């Protein structure tokens, strides 16, 4: 059994113990040094605020245990996701999963709301030969053999509730979606989905790559988060036919918070240097903190409801994210920003219709529109100076994350974009 955490670099790391003793470790936890969270995406520790000091406990959550059984072709694997506690049993203030849970708890206790969300994942599978003209094609299913059927079966066994598996636009690119879930379970499923996908690919002697960019100017892989709100009885409360953009007042202010602070929390959702190769105009990705209906280049897309469909399915889709982001930090950023919107009763800005860059500077300012940062370095600078994000995370947590990402940037110095992409492709 592997006790696992998702670290600041977006990688899942863990320690193993005998399955027969798993109940003991659920009670006692598994020791971990705080600096383990500071391992960069590329495997090196550059700087750490804790150095060699300190001890934490990884506390396994039995509800997150996953078994991936590959039959006779590959050894089975078993892992469980953990919270990070201090030695006295309190949640560690720099634990991504605990930070998300704290935001969700505030959403419930202060506003009587729960977040209902799901992550969509795109990735490239190495078991498909490059072939022109196969975007979304039936022949892409034929080329991948039994990989997707094995993957969907493994996800189902893991309780991730897969919904769809499909070929995407890029050669060898696929997308897997799963059912939405309440609260932290949605982020748990994102971690589980990525690791199960990697496991199934490895068992076939191939690789599933979630890198946000596969090469300069080439199609990349995004992670899109669909979200809505429910009351504490499980009733959907996001839709209002008379509300702005058909959103309830609560949903509108929650969404307004995400839009208002998107440029400040962006490193939590687009966490790599090459993430910003995707976040450009005309790349079917987000380039502005804009809201728009049925626009796949909006920062937040209002998803359509077909005629006669239940209004319970009303949701918005956050698009400025990819799999280099820790899922708990990604979802946590959306929750804490939404809380900010609710506490300040922020008004929902007018949706855009078309390319936001065509608006005059005066109109863009009136709408609160901002171009997203063009690089991870620029985004980190904005985040560091955000008193609002600092209030959500606290000094120690924010500074640790900034140091980790600044270290990652330093490891890429002197490399051109293709060399940078190659490093991320290797580890994601």
The answer to the question of residue 350 being in a domain is yes
Is 289 a member of any domain? yes
With b meaning 16 or more CB within 10 Å and e meaning fewer, what string describes 380-394? bebbbebeebbebbe
Q: Which of 311, 322, 270, 314 is nearest to 294 (CA)?
A: 314
Per-residue pLDDT of the chain (428 residues; tens, 9 = 90+): 899 999 998 899 999 998 999 899 999 999 999 999 999 999 888 999 999 899 999 999 999 999 998 888 888 899 999 999 999 999 999 999 999 999 999 999 999 999 999 999 999 998 887 766 677 777 777 887 889 999 999 999 999 999 988 888 878 889 999 999 999 999 999 999 999 999 999 999 999 999 999 887 777 899 999 999 999 999 999 999 888 889 999 999 999 999 999 999 999 999 999 999 988 877 778 888 889 887 888 889 998 877 777 778 899 999 999 999 999 999 999 999 999 999 999 999 988 887 887 777 777 777 788 989 999 999 999 999 999 999 999 999 999 999 999 999 999 999 999 999 999 999 99
Task: Report the C-alpha gap between 241 and 295 in whole angstroms.
Answer: 20
Find the helix or strand (DSSP H, E) in which 78 lies. strand 77-85
Domain-located, residue 61: no
Q: Is residue 37 part of a domain?
A: no
Which residues, including other chains, have CB under 8 Å from residue 1's CB and lie 6 or more apart? Answer: 16, 17, 18, 19, 22, 25, 65, 78, 79, 80
Give the residue from 287, 293, 209, 309 showing the smallest Cα distance to 244.
293
- Residue 235, Cβ density class (10 Å: 0-12 exposed, 13-18 middle, ≥19 buried): exposed
H-run or E-run covering 419: helix 417-427
| Within a domain: 72 | no
Tokens 């897969």 belong to which residue?
Answer: 162
Residue 410: closest CA among 17, 46, 29, 19:
46
Residue 87 lies in a domain: no
- CA-to-CA separations, 8 to 106, 118, 168, 265, in angstroms, rounded: 23, 21, 28, 14
Residue 347 lies in a domain: yes
Beta-bridge partners for 121: 176, 223
Question: Can you give the residue range of the structural domain that contains 201?
Answer: 93-427
Domain tally for the chain? 1
CATH code where residue 292 lies: 3.30.590.10
pTM score over 0.75: yes
Q: How far apart are CA 33 and CA 283, in angstroms?
A: 40
Residue 187 lies in a domain: yes
The first and second tokens of residue 424, run together, are: 């991320």
Closest listed residue to residue 119, CA positions, set 164, 163, 178, 162: 178
HSE of 301 in the Cβ direction (CA atoms, 13 Å)? 20
Q: Please give the helix or strand (H or E) that residue 66 lies within, else none.
A: strand 66-68
């Amino acid at each position: 059994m592997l006790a696992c955490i998702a670290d600041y670099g977006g990688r899942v790391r863990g320690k193993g113990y005998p399955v027969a003793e798993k109940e003991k470790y659920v009670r006692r936890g598994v020791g971990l040094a705080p600096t383990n969270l500071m391992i960069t995406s590329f495997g090196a520790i550059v700087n750490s605020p804790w150095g060699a000091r300190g001890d934490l406990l990884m506390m396994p959550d039995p509800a997150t245990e996953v078994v991936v059984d590959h039959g006779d072709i590959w050894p089975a694997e078993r892992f469980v996701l953990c919270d990070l506690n201090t030695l006295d049993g309190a949640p560690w203030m720099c634990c991504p999963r605990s930070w998300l849970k704290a935001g969700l708890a505030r959403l419930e206790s202060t506003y009587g709301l729960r977040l209902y969300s799901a992550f969509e994942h795109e990735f490239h599978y190495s078991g498909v030969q490059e072939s022109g003209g196969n975007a979304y094609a039936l022949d892409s299913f034929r080329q991948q053999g039994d990989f997707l059927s094995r993957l969907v079966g493994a996800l189902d066994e893991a309780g991730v509730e897969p919904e769809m598996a499909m070929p995407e636009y890029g050669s060898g690119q696929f997308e897997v979606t799963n059912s939405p879930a309440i609260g932290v379970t949605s982020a748990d499923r994102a971690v589980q989905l990525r690791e199960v996908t990697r496991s199934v690919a490895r068992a076939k002697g191939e690789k599933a790559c979630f890198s946000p960019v596969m090469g300069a100017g080439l199609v990349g892989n995004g992670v899109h988060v669909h979200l809505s709100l429910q009351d504490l009885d499980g009733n959907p409360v996001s839709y209002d036919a008379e509300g702005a953009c058909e959103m309830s007042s609560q949903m509108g202010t929650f969404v307004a918070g995400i839009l208002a602070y998107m440029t400040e929390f962006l490193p939590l959702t687009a966490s790599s240097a090459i993430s910003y190769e995707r976040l450009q105009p005309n790349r079917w990705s987000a380039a502005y903190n804009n809201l728009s209906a049925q626009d796949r280049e909006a920062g937040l897309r209002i998803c359509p409801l077909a005629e006669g469909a239940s209004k319970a399915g009303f949701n918005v889709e956050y698009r400025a994210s990819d799999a280099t982001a820790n899922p708990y930090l990604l979802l946590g950023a959306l929750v804490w920003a939404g809380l900010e919107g609710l506490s300040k009763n922020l008004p929902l800005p007018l949706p855009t219709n078309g390319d936001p860059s065509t608006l005059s500077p005066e109109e863009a300012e009136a709408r609160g529109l901002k171009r997203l940062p063009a690089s991870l370095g620029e985004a980190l600078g904005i985040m560091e100076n955000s008193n609002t994000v600092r209030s959500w995370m606290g000094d120690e947590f924010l500074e640790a994350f900034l140091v980790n990402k600044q270290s990652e940037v330093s490891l890429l110095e002197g490399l051109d974009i293709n060399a940078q992409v190659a490093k991320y492709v290797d580890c994601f």
